[in-house]
Amino acid sequence: MQVTTASYGWRRLVAVSRRYAHRRTTSPRAVDLITAIGALSLMVLDVPGLAAGDNRLTGVTATLVLTAGAASLLIRRRAPWVPYAVALLLLAWLHELTLIQFALYSLGRFRGRWAGVLSTAGYVVVAVVLFSLPGWPEQHADSFSGFLSLVVPIGVLASGVGVAANRQDLVRELEARRAETAALQAVRDERISVARDVHDLVGRELTVLAVRAEVLSVRARGTPQEKDFEELADTARRAHLMLNDTIVHRADERTATPGLEGLPALAEESGRMGSPVTLRVGADATRLSPLRQTAVYRVVQECLTNAAKHAPGEPVTVAIGLEGSRLRIVARNALPRSAPPTEPVSSGTGTFSMRERVRSLGGTLTARAEGGVYEVVALLPAGWLRPEPGRWWMGEGTASRAP
């Protein structure tokens, strides 16, 4: 089917309109406005009876009074006691029972259980007093038992639903905070891991530099360059000490993060878990600095872990190579046709860790599902490259350095 420019533009307009409408109608202000309009619509049905029951009101004035009462629901989040007081006023003046339901629900929803209980008790007391006074309409119960069967359920149900919604809000907020805390913890852990890798790799180079400078200072003894080499060795030692003082080792005694040489073991482990891996690493990628190689290892490790959790048994393709001055890592796996029989055990922070690792090196990471395939793409600066790269050949789930 051929898609014309006009039809494509119309589809885009419809999609944008739907997203805009969804965003607008789900905002708190829009929900409050819809609630107020709903309450007013229900109360307007009683306008003829209200005008007939109170000689001071006409159909127009009764509608204006009810509109003012419904408008108080617009501030039900910030000041839910205001619509509650207005509802009690309408109950005493016009015996209107509709607005009190919305007011009790709002108090239970936005102020919690005790506010709901107290407001419901206050409403019942006021209603009992009004029933005891002359002028209570017969359509709202002509006996005390009928009065209780009408008034009490209205208050209890409205307030109870509001309290239940309040608890659901608290649960969702707690879950969101837990997810945020887990994400922040994952970012902190990844930063510590990056710092540890920096310490291991840069510290080693500083040690080599210090030893080399000391050797040169010994060889240059008695020459004008002796003092310069000694100062160079002393500077390298002080830099290594500052690096030790700045970056604190973690107490878990983990071994240093592998580089590209650790990828074959990851591929084999994933294959044993049922997810075969096709690993392709460009020959130029072996020229990467050790810090870049540890980043590659971590990203690939997390991609394979996610694939094993969420798409067990599906093949995974990993491609690593240089594109000009950038390093590109791409991991793809097919999405499962049906949901796993059991929910995978996951903290949900793996993507945060990968993104933080790549971001710390000045790169970007995107992860998305499209067309039945889940794809992770990481782009980061290649940094300095070793002058003489080794050569790698890659096969299905294996990788070896060529002699």
- Would you list the DSSP string of 52-99? HH-TT--HHHHHHHHHHHHHGGGGTTT-THHHHHHHHHHHHHH---HH
3 state DSSP class of 334: strand
**Total residues found in the chain within this entry:** 403
Q: 304 and 316 in contact (C-beta within 8 Å)?
A: yes
Q: 398 and 268 in contact (C-beta within 8 Å)?
A: yes
3 state DSSP class of 4: coil
Distance CA 126, CA 80 (A): 18
Distance CA 175, CA 164 (A): 17
Instruction: Quote the pLDDT of residue 20.
Output: 59
What's the whole-model pTM score? Answer: 0.50
Instruction: Quote the pLDDT of residue 268.
Output: 87
Dihedral over Cα of 73, 75, 78, 84: its sign? negative
| Segment (H or E) for 137 | none
For residue 392, what are the β-bridge partners?
401
Instruction: Quote the pLDDT of residue 389.
Output: 43
Instruction: Quote the pLDDT of residue 17.
Output: 64
Distance CA 357, CA 185 (A): 13
For residue 400, what are the β-bridge partners?
393
b/e for 161-196, b at 16 or more Cβ within 10 A? Answer: bbbeebeeeeeeeeeeeeeeeebeebbeebeebbbb
Instruction: Quote the pLDDT of residue 319.
Output: 92
Instruction: Quote the pLDDT of residue 51.
Output: 60
Instruction: Quote the pLDDT of residue 190.
Output: 66
Per residue of the chain (403 residues), what is the pLDDT tens digit? 444 666 656 666 666 666 655 565 568 888 889 989 998 988 888 787 766 666 567 778 888 889 999 999 999 999 999 999 999 998 888 888 889 999 999 999 999 889 999 999 999 999 888 888 877 776 666 677 777 888 888 888 999 999 998 898 888 888 887 877 777 776 677 666 666 666 666 666 676 777 777 777 777 777 877 777 777 777 777 776 666 655 544 444 445 567 788 888 888 888 887 788 899 988 888 778 777 888 888 888 888 888 887 788 888 999 998 888 888 999 999 888 766 554 444 445 567 777 777 887 788 888 888 888 899 999 988 875 655 544 433 333 334 343 3
Q: 107 and 130 in contact (C-beta within 8 Å)?
A: no
Instruction: Quote the pLDDT of residue 16.
Output: 62
CA distances 316 to 36, 126, 271, 303, Å, are 53, 69, 10, 9
